[in-house]
Structure 1
Amino acid sequence: MHYSIVPFGLFALTCCFANPLFAQTERDTTLQQIAPVSIRSYFSSQPFLAHTSSAKVITRDLLTAQMPGTILPAINTTPGVRMEERSPGSYRLALRGSMLRSPFGVRNTKIYLDEIPLTDAGGNSYLNSLDPVGLQQITIIKGPDGSLFGPNSGGVVRITPYGLDTFDPTTQVLLSGGSFGTFNQQLSHRQQVGDNYQFSFDQAFMRSDGYRDHTGAKRMYLQTAHQWQYNPKARLKLLAIYSDLSYNTPGGLTQAQFEENPRQARPATSTMPGAEDQQATIYNKTLISGLVHEYKFNDRWMHSASVFGSFTDFKNPFITNYEHRDEKNAGFRTYFSYTPQQNEWVSWQMQLGMEAQAGWYEIENFDNLGGVKGDPQSFDNLRNGQHFYFYRAAATFREKLTAEASIGLNYNDIRFTQLYPEIANNRGDINFGATWMPRLALSYLLTPQLALRTSLSKGYSPPTIAEVRSSDNRINVDLQPEGGYNYEIGVRGETKNRRWLLDLSAYRYNLEEGIVRQLRENGADFFVNAGSINQRGLELLLMGQIITPRPTGFIRGLNVSAALTYQDYKFRAYTVLEGGQNVDHSGNKVTSIPTWMSVNTLHVQLPYRTGIYLMHNHTSSIPLNDANTAFADGYNLLQAKAHWQIPIRADWQIQVFVGGDNLLNQVYSLGNDINAFGGRYFNPAPTRNYYGGLSASF
């Protein structure tokens, strides 16, 4: 049985500004502003009403409003965005449905750390390598925008790490623990040295036994960022991150296994061993570093240049094999920005630049002998190269009409050498050629508090290294890039005192050659192109203050917000070979996409520096296979957190907090294995669970 519910009570809702765990507790303005006045999603900040893209800023306050050590609840307050965690440490992220391709990780979404790409040359982003301890804010740009950021068909995420922007110098410590052996520890030190230099050091440790058998996880995280204004016209920024992550992968369960014992790992069958027998685990050690230089020649001209690189040591004992990947990436990004002298009727700017990355991937597969390498199965070397050029011009006329036009020219190719077993033609080159990616956008201020916007953009995303050379150990030279045009309109409004904000979007994305995951009988995945897909959606974000901050009364402040998502995604033309026959899935719902999502939260500020934060998440039923013969039931999640701020002295603060997740004790799967062979779709999520801890800031 499956069902879909459109939530009627949208206002069982959220605050955009919960009192943070690492709180800027010296401020009494936590609830004064419900959202940033401006959004910096491109090269400069734009007012909320004049911004031409569908974007949301995840503030530090929102990142720390729920349980520590995860960004998932905060990300999911964005309409059109869905983040999953199949087991502790195993993240997936979808911007407007892009999870269709991701068995794990993040694909066809471009992610940046300031000007440094987290997305590697192969198209993969190890988002689970990051810890929220070092993240100042996250800006999510929804919808394809490859004109400035290279290949993507889902959207762009821009993360601001601490140390690369302004901050309050402080030292912060956090300790927390909870159900299922969960433990989080965080340490941060941020300091200003003189007038020209600042740095940040952040460290975190996370562990969890997990709800299911064989779901333990650990992550050690180190981050440092430095900013040096060595000249009135120039500054240098440095970022370095090291993450050592490991987590067990318990595998998917059938419906019967899910109902019988949702805590079990994937059991053995007569022909295949189980997940625990094979010690199925992900081991990921990643080092990312980058250097950014900015120089302002004068009031009109500015130049930015960054160089970056990464190294990943990735090991994955799996049911069918033991995979080891050695991944190296290097690249640069540079652009010039020109802002001429403005006048009363028009202000404008333009940027011209390029970005290039190269990746080298050594992939080895062995028999898996219970978590130990056995005989070799397949060895391949792959090199991925991508570079793109971009140009953007933006102008605002009479402070009412904002127009933007940008275009990118993208080049992508993959070269491979099959080392073992040796074959006659063991080398190849997959060249995806050159692709133009334009974007046009307008925003018009109807009144000082109401704006209309519209945009047309092209999405384009070539298959990643992990899709061309997937876990079935075959190199798929026939897999084609996906792409198409996105048409969007929207309305933004705010009250005069900014107590209430509204952002409504409607879009249609005609995706061609959509990439879809399939599974072989032994559980190994491979990817095919799904013809064409119609993606239509509505997104609503509403934020407001019911009670503005005040020094008296039982309720000292009350913030709410609601994020509503409607997704009507259908396969327009999709035929696939199943069991030796062509099966037509045209007209079916797109796999893994819920039709309705609603995330509603509420933050209440009480006397004695106490507060309560509530979040409700409704997700409707989810199709689990392309044939639409299996669905995951919809669910309603309720999370809560209470905190008490204790001032020790003017510059010392301690916060005690307790919280709970899945308080309605829903039986659900937060991350399904789509198109799973044998109906092993389900990865059961934890039942009702609790956490508590304290943080200190001084």
Structure 2
Amino acid sequence: MRIFLTFSIAFGLTFTVSTLLAQKSKTDTATHLQEVIIRPYFSPVSLQRATGSVGIADTTVLDKQPSTSLVSTLNTLSGVRMEERSPGSYRLSIRGSLLRSPFGVRNVKIYFDDFPLTDAGGNSYLNALDVSGTTALQVLKGPQSSIFGANSGGVVLVQPTGSTGFGQPGQPGSTLAQFSAEGGSYGTFRESAFLNQQYRRYRFNITQAYQRSDGYREHSAMDRKYLQTFQQFDYATNASLKALLFYSDLHYNTPGGLTAAQFTANPQASRPSTPATRSAIEQRAGIYSKTFYAGLSNNWAISEHFRHVLSVYGSYTDFKNPFITNYEHRMETTLGLRSYLEYALQTTNARWKVNAGLESMTTGTGFNNYDNNFGTPAAVQATDKLHADASFGFLQLTADLYDKLLIELSASLNLYGYDYKSTAPVAIARKTVAFDTQLMPRAAVSYLISNAFSLRASASKGYSPPTLAEVRASNNVINTSLQPEYGWSYETGFRLQTMDGRFFADLNGFHYQLRDAIVRRLDQADREYFINAGGTSQWGLETGMSYQLLPLRGQGIVRGFLLRNAYTLSRFRFGDYVSGNNDYSGNALTGVPRTVVVSSAELQLPHAVYVFFQHNYTSSIPLNDANSVYARKYHLLQARIGWKNLRIGTTTLELFAGGDNLLNQTYSLGNDLNAVGNRYFNAAAKRNFYGGLAVKFRK
């Protein structure tokens, strides 16, 4: 630990000294780090002036990471942690909140372009997406309930392949086609293809992907078929229409958690049988999920000052989960819309914008649980229908004064409730649960002291009601006493970018006081349920740095050398938290490593050859609320080498090869928190390799 803290400090000092030297020398004016333009809160703004803490993963990051998942990509961002219990089984948290996530995504809102991927029931099927359908991600850290509705963790904005990006103009061109294929350890194979066509005012993109893996552990195979299309039609000089559709057919086996002894003896093993339960293999435990999603959005510039955006969307998911103790089948249908009106005014020394709108959606879910008879549904255990409605109206004022001071004031009024009825094992007539209407404000400011240095601060309130999967968890009990979690977050930070663009640093400190935190529990039959656990106190520090140590150039053996570093310090504690006879007050927050350091180096060589190295240090992780069991710290080292821009006429070829976990660490990337029977551990793959090629054709 001490070594890596020393490394991080030394890395920062190296940046500082090198920056001072660079400011004195202007001999090299080759291409440097490009200014990043983002659009987190309606208005395009440079990252340097953003009022909040924003993590960016664009193609420069995605292209250097394994394309089989977004895990390693998102884990390059400070304050963000994505876990993988087995191929296809992911969990995502922002600033440490994994308490609610047995799998998937909770208390984080996800948008796919203009369309919410998170349904009214609070679930987000992020694992339905394929990496090939994504060209960039923006992660807004901390609660963003003011204009994005109920969330207590943050928001992820996903840019689909073929879209124009976050406030960026579309690229001219007629035809672009790409095909890629790669294979690797543990039977991994992946191929993807896309076609992008530009016809004057109409742009069309279609993306296809297939992926499969045998997995590192027993009973951890996965496969996914994916198809996506994004289309945009500028049907008038002041109006455009775009459509997004995707279909995902995902299956993965779930090997189950192991005890510490089992994990040490054979980390590749799946969960064995006991005198009371069958094994994961015998029960054919796994996930079968088919999702269809469609959205249509119209953008109309009514006049010089007014703009209106209207988005409608819908989705259907057929979800099956044979588990050790039951077989769950649920069908989910979502319909929704998001609309806002923008007024913009520019005066001599100021730009003003007002955005007012609403988002409303409804999700109906049919829960059906059966006995699991060796992977086949048998006798009915429970049958319920739940219906969730989530709506909010929002208002935001943005003032940009003298191109120096940026002020954002926003608020939303949130309405959330659900109803339910049961037919088995006992019939229950329809009942309704409505939560109190919540006002969620946010105030944020950034000030550009110079072109190289900016300060920022914000205060925001977060709010996240229980999801339908938490209200009606796998214990088949509808828990109407479960309440939303909420709290205030305060943060401040600065950004520094040198005038030559070679060095960028982002530092952010925050304090989040969360109330009525929702925590996962397991009963003696290994079925989950959720409770409110009092509050948490979350102090954190996040830094991100990049330095073009050697600027890009066209001569020499070394053509460029880029360093990146992300540091996360999380001092997250339970507040007053008593469960039965146990007092967990003051304990470290379950599932949160105190320290994470991710560092990378990218070397550019002649003939468009590149070499990339990345190291991830993650400190020990408490696995239960009592803090009596910890996952050990680990070091992950990955590398990739590639040869780009091999040209045959108008066709460009890239060859690449890489390796992950090169130090051959035995570790668990996705732990089962508060696990019954001490089955906490889900082993990640040992040392593994991959290689492939990508072919681009442009006309």
TM-score (structure 2 length as normaliser): 0.95
Q: Which amino acid aligns with 1:184?
A: R
Q: Which amino acid aligns with 1:255?
A: A
- Cα displacement (A) at 1:115: 0.9
Aligned partner (choices 520, 524, 536) of residue 523 of structure 2: 520
Q: In structure 2, how many angstroms separate the alpha carbons of the residues matched to 1:5 and 1:98? A: 27
**Counterparts in 2 of 1:127 and 1:33: CA distance versus 1, 3 Å:** farther
Q: In structure 2, how many angstroms separate the alpha carbons of the residues matched to 1:612 and 1:284? A: 37
**Is there any run of 5+ residues in structure 1 with no aligned partner, and where?**
14-30
Structure 2 contact 651–696 (Cα < 8 Å) conserved: yes
SS in 1 for 2:48: coil
Q: Which amino acid aligns with 1:175?
A: A
Deviates more, 1:568-577 or 1:65-74: 65-74
| Structure 2 partner of 1:22 | none
| Structure 2 partner of 1:636 | 635
Q: In structure 1, how many angstroms separate the alpha carbons of the residues matched to 2:220 and 2:396? A: 46
SS in 2 for 1:427: strand
Structure 2 contact 306–344 (Cα < 8 Å) conserved: yes
| Structure 2 partner of 1:259 | 264
Aligned partner (choices 318, 334, 348) of residue 339 of structure 2: 334
SS in 2 for 1:99: coil
**Counterparts in 2 of 1:287 and 1:616: CA distance versus 1, 3 Å:** same
Superposed CA deviations along residues 244-303 of structure 1, whole A, max 9, x for unmatched, are: 000000000000000111110000111111111100010000001000001001121000
Matched, 1:507 2:513: no
SS in 1 for 2:49: coil
**Counterparts in 2 of 1:74 and 1:626: CA distance versus 1, 3 Å:** same
Structure 1 contact 12–616 (Cα < 8 Å) conserved: no
- Cα displacement (A) at 1:653: 0.8
Q: In structure 2, how many angstroms separate the alpha carbons of the residues matched to 1:606 and 1:323? A: 53
Q: In structure 2, how many angstroms separate the alpha carbons of the residues matched to 1:599 and 1:355? A: 37
Q: In structure 1, how many angstroms separate the alpha carbons of the residues matched to 2:403 and 2:241? A: 33
- Cα displacement (A) at 1:79: 0.4
Question: Any residues of structure 2 matched to 1:232-271 within 5 Å, and which?
Answer: 232-271=237-276
Q: Which amino acid aligns with 1:409?
A: L
- % identical aligned pairs: 45
Aligned residue pairs total: 672
Question: Any residues of structure 2 matched to 1:212-361 within 5 Å, and which?
Answer: 212-340=217-345, 342-361=346-365
Q: In structure 1, how many angstroms separate the alpha carbons of the residues matched to 2:335 and 2:523? A: 34
Aligned partner (choices 401, 405, 418) of residue 405 of structure 2: 401
Say which structure, 1 or 2, has more relative contact order (CA 8 Å, 6+ apart): 1
Q: In structure 2, how many angstroms separate the alpha carbons of the residues matched to 1:624 and 1:130? A: 29
Structure 1 contact 69–133 (Cα < 8 Å) conserved: no
Superposed CA deviations along residues 514-539 of structure 1, whole A, max 9, x for unmatched, are: 01111112221111111010011000
Matched, 1:187 2:186: no
Structure 1 contact 314–325 (Cα < 8 Å) conserved: yes
| Structure 2 partner of 1:68 | 67
Matched, 1:574 2:577: yes
- Cα displacement (A) at 1:487: 0.5
Superposed CA deviations along residues 394-449 of structure 1, whole A, max 9, x for unmatched, are: 101122111110000000001000111124x4432121120000000011122221
Instruction: Find runs of 4+ consecutive structure 1 residues off by over 4 angstroms.
Output: 3-6
Q: Which amino acid aligns with 1:474?
A: V
SS in 2 for 1:256: helix
Question: Any residues of structure 2 matched to 1:375-390 within 5 Å, and which?
Answer: 375-390=379-394
RMSD value over aligned CA atoms? 1.4
Q: Which amino acid aligns with 1:460?
A: Y
Superposed CA deviations along residues 361-415 of structure 1, whole A, max 9, x for unmatched, are: 0010000001001100000000000100000001011221111100000000010
Q: Which amino acid aligns with 1:251?
A: G
Structure 1 contact 4–620 (Cα < 8 Å) conserved: no
Q: Which amino acid aligns with 1:270?
A: P
**Is there any run of 5+ residues in structure 2 with no aligned partner, and where?**
13-29, 165-169
| Structure 2 partner of 1:175 | 181
- Cα displacement (A) at 1:34: 3.0
Aligned partner (choices 363, 371, 374) of residue 370 of structure 1: 374
Question: Any residues of structure 2 matched to 1:38-53 within 5 Å, and which?
Answer: 38-53=37-52
**Counterparts in 2 of 1:151 and 1:133: CA distance versus 1, 3 Å:** same
Q: In structure 1, how many angstroms separate the alpha carbons of the residues matched to 2:131 and 2:160? A: 9
Q: In structure 1, how many angstroms separate the alpha carbons of the residues matched to 2:655 and 2:37? A: 32
Matched, 1:7 2:5: yes
Structure 1 contact 164–237 (Cα < 8 Å) conserved: no
SS in 1 for 2:435: strand
Q: In structure 2, how many angstroms separate the alpha carbons of the residues matched to 1:520 and 1:463? A: 19
Q: In structure 2, how many angstroms separate the alpha carbons of the residues matched to 1:52 and 1:150? A: 19
TM-score (structure 1 length as normaliser): 0.95
Structure 1 contact 36–57 (Cα < 8 Å) conserved: no
SS in 2 for 1:366: strand
- Cα displacement (A) at 1:35: 5.2
| Structure 2 partner of 1:17 | none
Superposed CA deviations along residues 131-190 of structure 1, whole A, max 9, x for unmatched, are: 011212111100001010000000001111122312464100011000000000000111
Matched, 1:536 2:518: no
Q: In structure 1, how many angstroms separate the alpha carbons of the residues matched to 2:513 and 2:329? A: 37
Matched, 1:495 2:501: no
Q: Which amino acid aligns with 2:326?
A: N
| Structure 1 partner of 2:469 | 466
Structure 1 contact 304–336 (Cα < 8 Å) conserved: yes
Superposed CA deviations along residues 441-487 of structure 1, whole A, max 9, x for unmatched, are: 01112222111110000000000000000011110011110010000
Q: In structure 1, how many angstroms separate the alpha carbons of the residues matched to 2:291 and 2:104? A: 14
SS in 1 for 2:267: coil
Q: In structure 2, how many angstroms separate the alpha carbons of the residues matched to 1:295 and 1:205? A: 36
Q: Which amino acid aligns with 1:110?
A: K
SS in 1 for 2:98: helix
SS in 1 for 2:204: strand
| Structure 2 partner of 1:689 | 688
Structure 1 contact 364–379 (Cα < 8 Å) conserved: yes
